[in-house]
Structure 1
Amino acid sequence: MSMSVLKEKSKQKTPASFPVRRMDYEFQDMPKYWCNNEPTFTHYFTGLSTLFPEGESYFVRSVRALRSQVKDNQQLDRDIGAFIGQEAMHSKEHHAFHRSAQQYGLDPESLEKTTGIILKAIERTFPKKWNLLVTVGLEHYTAVLVVEMMKDVNELMTDETIRNLWLWHSVEETEHKAVAYDMYEYLYGKGLAAYIPRVAVFTFSLAMITAMSTAYQVVLLKRDQQLLNLKSWRKFAQHGREKYKVFIPKFLDYYRFNFHPNDSDESEIVAKTKVKIGLSQVENHLPA
């Protein structure tokens, strides 16, 4: 894997709060069941991954559509630029992973295309404010999931390259988790008129992503002729029950009137994760 960190030019008065890292993972030798050696686990995360290329392109379009209105906030504008850069890299690398998964005849790229069709329909239907709110809500959803990924879920991934893909993605999700939210708050404020659409669109977004990720897991299991593998389903259900005990309170936290993504601090687990995948070593040796 080759990697470089794109740093803000010194001539810029206000650098972004986080870097854009250029990654280039190679997935050619990945095993068929790379998560817990189980089809249910592997296909769940592959299904979730197929949401990212089109989903994060949608996020980028949603913030770009309103970016001109925040140009007078230099810090926020710089962070939006870095957010766009990180999301573009996530789309690229998850798409590369899906192309490599084609070798097993599961065709995850077809699920990418389905995601694109759904999100483009939403984009055409929703006003710019609501499209931004879908991004805000799903950024919170992702920020909740990646904490558990960094804590212990990554240990289920037997392929080092795929594990590193998810951990790198997790680190960056925590870095930019507040950008879209801050953009929304800057444009629309903190009052009741901003709160009601925020929680309403989050409820819609949470239902949508849960339905899509579940459907994609089922589709992949069916294509793999593992849909009736009850032993694997039992293991996955037990794991899911334990994790949703953690997820649900954190999802509900979004409904607090004074919620902000930075209310939670993931700096310690992020630092450990950077060490684990070698990001700290690289970034500590970058020129100032």
Structure 2
Amino acid sequence: MSGMRIGGFIGSAILALILWIPSPAVAADTPAVGAGVAYVIDSAGTIHYGKRQTRRVPVASLVKVMTAYVVLNEAKLGDRITVTSADVRHAVANGATTAALAKGERLTVRDLLYGLMLPSGGDAANALARTYGPGKTAFVAKMNAAARRLGLRDTWYTNADGLPAPAGGHSTAVDQVRLAKAALANPTFRTIVAREKHVVPRTSLHRAHTWRNTNKLLQRAEGVLGVKTGYTREAGFCLLFAGERGGRQVIGVLLGDQDARRFTTAEKLLDYADDRISRG
């Protein structure tokens, strides 16, 4: 009888010990990603997610990241550009999103970059490309030259705004993430794409403008750095995004997604990367 009591005591002690030992933390499940193409990597080189990341696809207005990158290497931010009727007509005739620019306005390069990146203005893209080619053909050549220098071997540009073109244009998720990393190294670019709203007060040179960022991820999560949205029927809804997580810069892209889903998925992917980084 005493042996049974001792055995029961030992069994209870072992059970208590097992219950006391903390169980290892469970890693977060990989988020479901409905986009056709996706890729997420951090500044330490850790790949957190990949899905057809080397497939060549159209990337819509994510093209404007390269447009901004080239302009920032060509122009002075205080330079003024006169908006032409061709700039306005280009956006309207092609059904592009616009910064609501008007013929005759004289805006700084800095402001036009906000008009390019926040409301994704096709009119701003046309004005910048026309000025810093000079001419759109020469500007696109500069975009492709920059792509080669950055090692974007699967990227080819045909215009400065990402609108569908007969000659086509393509990139990959891997290339888009690499481009974003290079662009975010520029403090001006980083400031612009992280801004939710930019106001241009009315002056004698131009009318007032208020531009809001189409990137809703900025409103959904902390530590988001930008970067750019895009949409065409051919490309689907796209999102190039970045955030600070676990002391690292995490950059990702979703191509061929649905409108609202791209933002919720990007938020989940940033949290997933954060969880993986924190676990070493």
- Shorter-chain TM-score category? under 0.3
TM superposition score normalised by structure 2: 0.26
- TM-score under structure 1 normalisation? 0.26
Q: Which has a greater percent of helix?
A: 1
Report which of the two has the higher share of strand: 2
Bigger radius of gyration: 2
